[in-house]
Every structure is written in structure tokens, then in C-alpha cells.
């Protein structure tokens, strides 16, 4: 009988300790330090990555090398393809430009679709901030060689010039509308070779 009481007491004590441990585990931490957090859906598929240095992009089930080393949040679509993110990084080709970006990608053929960001040189002498929209690359099955789409629109400021630039389907500037650093406003239409063929007003330098 004594052993039965001891077993019951031990059982109650064990349950109590488990309950205490369970309660303690839900107390929010004030601070955590990690290199990377992976967020998955119910099926275990990767949907978000929060990282101090993001891994290479996953496209069509294959992981590729990344041309930059961003820190921030990377998100993936329902099929597991990388589809954008909120990041801070140094930008190629010389890795001296500081970039802060929010990006959204096309995933049928992986392509940078929309980019909202700021870009500053290391010395602060040149800068740019704005919205850039790209065309989706033509679909090609198999391995992906690039995510760089054709730039079609830029709206923002660059070195104190503010404007809207519209590109053709080859990425060539065809329309510029803006106000430059000297306060002069103009609309310019360019031909395929980049020559201004019409300017309003026509006396704008």
C-alpha cells in the first residue's frame, strides 16, 4: 500500500513539473540571438527565411548561388520558389553600394519584377531611391541562368534629379519626365539609339 501511495505521489509530482515546464515555455523571451529562422507551412515546405546572411535562392527545387549576400527576410511562393524579400546588402558589381530593398519576383520564369529601394555609394556622393518595374523573362524550362528582367519603368530620384523614365521592351530609355537638380522641368522623347527627338519645352538644356 505504501508503494502505491509513493507511485501516486510521484505521478502527481511529475505531472506538476510538466505543467510548470509547459507554462514556462510559453513565457515570451525579451531577446533572442540567431543566425537564421526558417518558417514552414503545414506540409513542411519552406515559406519564409529570416537570416543575417540569406542562403542561395531556390528555384524549381534547385538551390543556386546568389550574386549578393543580403540580410533580412526572404519569402517563397506556394511551390517553394523564392519570390521576393525585404533585405539590406552591398550591391554588385563592386559591392560598395549600400542597398535597402523590398522586392517582388515573378516565379513562372524567375524574374525580378518590382523593386522599391534606396542605393547609396560608400562615400555618399551618389544615391538613388525609387520604384523600378521589370518585364518577366521568357519562359525557359530547366536550370535558371539569371533573374534579371528588362527594366521598363523607374520612378524616383537620382542625385537630386526627380523623374519618371519609361523604357521599351529592349530596356532602352524612350520617355523621360522630370525635374532636375536646377529646378528645370522637361519631357523628353528618345529614339531607339537614345537620341532626344522631342523635348517639351524645346529650350530645356
Residue 7 has pLDDT above 70, yes or no: no
By the 10 Å C-beta count (0-12 exposed, 13-18 middle, 19+ buried), 84 is classed as buried
Chain-centroid distance of CA 163 in Å reads: 23
Structure confidence at residue 15 as a pLDDT band (50, 70, 90): very low
User: Do the beta carbons of residue 186 and residue 167 sit within 8 Å?
Assistant: no
Give the pLDDT mean for 4-31.
56
pLDDT digits (tens, 9 = 90+) for 106-115: 999 999 999 9
pLDDT of residue 192: 96
Residue extents of the structural domains in the chain = 2-159
pLDDT digits (tens, 9 = 90+) for 129-142: 999 999 999 999 99
Amino acid at each position: 500500500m505504501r508503494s502505491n501511495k509513493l507511485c501516486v505521489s510521484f505521478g502527481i509530482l511529475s505531472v506538476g513539473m510538466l505543467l510548470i515546464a509547459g507554462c514556462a515555455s510559453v513565457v515570451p523571451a525579451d531577446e533572442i540571438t540567431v543566425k537564421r529562422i526558417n518558417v514552414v507551412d503545414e506540409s513542411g515546405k519552406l515559406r519564409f527565411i529570416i537570416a543575417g546572411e540569406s542562403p542561395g535562392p531556390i528555384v524549381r527545387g534547385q538551390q543556386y548561388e546568389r550574386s549578393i549576400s543580403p540580410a533580412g527576410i526572404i519569402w517563397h511562393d506556394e511551390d517553394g520558389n523564392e519570390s521576393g524579400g525585404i533585405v539590406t546588402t552591398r550591391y554588385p558589381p563592386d559591392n560598395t553600394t549600400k542597398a535597402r530593398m523590398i522586392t517582388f519576383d515573378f516565379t513562372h520564369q524567375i524574374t525580378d519584377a518590382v523593386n522599391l529601394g534606396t542605393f547609396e555609394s560608400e562615400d555618399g556622393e551618389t544615391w538613388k531611391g525609387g520604384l523600378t518595374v521589370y518585364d518577366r523573362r521568357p519562359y525557359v524550362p530547366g536550370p535558371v541562368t539569371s533573374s534579371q528582367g528588362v527594366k521598363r519603368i523607374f520612378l524616383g530620384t537620382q542625385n537630386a534629379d526627380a523623374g519618371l523614365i519609361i523604357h521599351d521592351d529592349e530596356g532602352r530609355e524612350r520617355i523621360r519626365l522630370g525635374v532636375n537638380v536646377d529646378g528645370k522641368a522637361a519631357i523628353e522623347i528618345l529614339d531607339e539609339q537614345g537620341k532626344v527627338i522631342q523635348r517639351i519645352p524645346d529650350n530645356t538644356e
